[in-house]
């Protein structure tokens, strides 16, 4: 009887092993997708306790866990992150849909929030339109490029700053009239510096873009669908809203 049972199972064993190996291979392939976030406060950074945190880092971790796709989430400087996405590998990041991002990456799903870029002035400085920037001293953090016209305009008085926080401090010390960059991020960092919102005037918005889960074109259809559905699920469940609520005033 045992010999008969063994004989009946024998042909099935290679098939079972093949299915197990196929499953393991598929899972391993999904783990090859690099999950990236910009290394910039408040997107992805180390807090005072040395713990990795950030609004986009928290969200990307949820996307990773919900979809089951991707390796552990990493933070990278913006230029290195964009260069990584353009390599011949599987990778994803949360990015605003700028013309460069639209042309070079696969936009899977918007997360439901928009990023506004422009110039944030002091309360006493009124910026009615683009021409109002003439004669103003504007701090511009390195790597910030949200609008080609502004970036290429050599007639404007722009001072370079290493990071967003340095630009904010220049403004606090009265060295500049305004700061350029992502408006909600500037306000968030200013709040961390103890600067009241009344310190600022009305921002001049030059661009407004949706934030997407953007990936390289190397993902499989299965990986792409799982990641897209994860974002949709996190939005509908209210989890995305909960994450952004943990960073008060960031996208208000």
Question: Do 43 and 54 contact (CB within 8 A), yes or no?
Answer: yes
Q: Alpha carbon 206 to chain centroid distance?
A: 19
B/e letters for 139-154, b = 16+ CB within 10 Å, e = fewer, are bbbeebbbbeebeeee
Identical topology for domains 9-114+211-245 and 116-208: yes
Question: Do 213 and 109 contact (CB within 8 A), yes or no?
Answer: yes
Q: What is the pLDDT of residue 78?
A: 83
Mean pLDDT of 15-20: 42
Mean pLDDT of 175-196: 90
- Ramachandran region of residue 13, left (φ > 0), alpha (ψ -120 to 50) or beta? alpha
Q: What is the pLDDT of residue 118?
A: 95
Return the DSSP state at 52.
Answer: E
Domain 9-114+211-245, what fold?
A: D-Maltodextrin-Binding Protein; domain 2 (3.40.190)
What CATH number was assigned to the domain covering residues 116-208? Answer: 3.40.190.10
Among the residue ranges 44-53, 111-120, 232-241, the one predicted with the least confidence is: 44-53
| Distant-in-sequence, close-in-space partners of 113: CB < 8 Å, separation ≥ 6 | 210, 211, 240, 244, 251
Residue 202 has pLDDT above 80, yes or no: yes
Q: 35-80 pLDDT, tens per residue?
A: 999 998 889 988 888 888 999 999 999 999 999 999 999 999 888 8
- To the nearest whole number, what is the mean pLDDT of the chain? 86
Q: How confident is residue 6, by pLDDT bands cut at 50, 70 and 90?
A: very low
Delimit the domains of the chain by residue range.
9-114+211-245, 116-208
């Amino acid at each position: 009887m045992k010999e008969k049972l063994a004989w009946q199972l024998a042909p099935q064993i290679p098939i079972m092993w093949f299915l197990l190996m196929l499953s393991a291979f598929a899972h391993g392939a999904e783990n090859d997708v690099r999950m990236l976030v910009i290394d910039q406060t408040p997107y992805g950074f180390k807090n005072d306790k040395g713990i990795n945190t950030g609004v986009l880092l928290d969200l990307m971790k949820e996307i990773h866990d919900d979809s089951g796709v991707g390796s552990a989430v990493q933070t990278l400087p913006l230029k290195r992150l964009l260069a990584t996405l353009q390599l011949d590998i599987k990778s994803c990041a949360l990015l605003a849909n700028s013309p460069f991002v639209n042309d070079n990456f696969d936009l899977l799903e918007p997360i439901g929030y928009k990023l506004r870029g422009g110039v944030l002035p002091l309360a006493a400085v009124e910026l009615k339109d683009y021409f109002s920037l003439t004669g103003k001293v504007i701090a511009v953090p390195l790597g910030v490029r949200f609008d080609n016209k502004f970036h290429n305009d050599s007639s404007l008085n722009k001072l370079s700053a290493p990071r967003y926080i340095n630009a904010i401090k220049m403004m606090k010390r009265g060295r500049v009239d305004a700061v350029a960059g992502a408006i909600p991020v500037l306000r968030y960092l200013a709040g961390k510096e103890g600067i009241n919102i009344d310190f600022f005037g009305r921002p001049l918005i030059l661009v407004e873009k949706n934030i997407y889960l953007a990936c390289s074109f190397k993902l499989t259809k299965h990986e792409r669908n799982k990641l897209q559905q994860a974002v949709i699920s996190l939005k509908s469940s209210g989890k995305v809203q909960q994450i952004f609520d943990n960073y008060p005033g960031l996208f208000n």
